[in-house]
Amino acid sequence: RRGVIEAGQARQQALDRFARVFLVGCGPGDVNLLTLQAYHCIRQAEVVLYDHLVPQQILDLVPEGVEQVYVGKQKQAHSLRQDDINQLMLGYARQGLRVARLKSGDPYVFGRGAEEARFLLQQGIAVEVIAGLSSAVAGPAAAGIPLTARGYAANVSIVSAHLAGSRLNTDWLPMLQRPDHTTVVLMGLSFAAEIAAQALAAGVPADLPVAIVSNASRENQQTIIT
């Protein structure tokens, strides 16, 4: 056991010394849900690239004088293409700067973190991914809704309603007819009416309980039970 702990410490020291890009999961929005690891990474960053869902309270943690670059991508309003973001990270890393790429939620849960990590590793840049609390878990919790409960749901699926090109993903609709199952749909708010129509057309019961949670954990959070 001691050897495993020492190996883990050695790995972390190596990452701290050589990693140049940190893909930082910033959680659903509430600064209090930021992990300590993410906090320390932000405080030690030499340049920060941040998404449009990263709130000002988290950006306020960035040390004074550190360059902050907005690379947000909203629906049909991308400030930069993904390729451009990749090149930005690569350029800063090759300057020897410690880059913190701030992403809402968790980088590996529908956050394109895998694409960014793969690109940088292919360019010989050491990358560390810092897990964040996904809205898939934090959203229901903030609304007081358990994803699983004994006798209620023993299974959970997390799906995205949004495909490239602003297309609706409906492959998951059959899951809504499974008993003892909770389905969490991310990026589905703008498709709500279309999802409801296609679910009914697919035979999903009209009285299936649904909760819609927007801006989870933030001051303007809204929850609709229907």
What are the residue numbers of the active site?
Answer: 51, 73
226, two tokens: 């229907």
Q: Which residues pair with 102 in a beta bridge?
A: 24, 50
Cα separation, 125 vs 121, whole angstroms: 5
Type of residue found at 129: V
Q: Which residues of the chain form beta strands (DSSP E)? A: 21-25, 47-50, 67-70, 73-74, 77-78, 99-103, 127-130, 155-160, 162-163, 167-168, 181-186, 211-214, 222-225
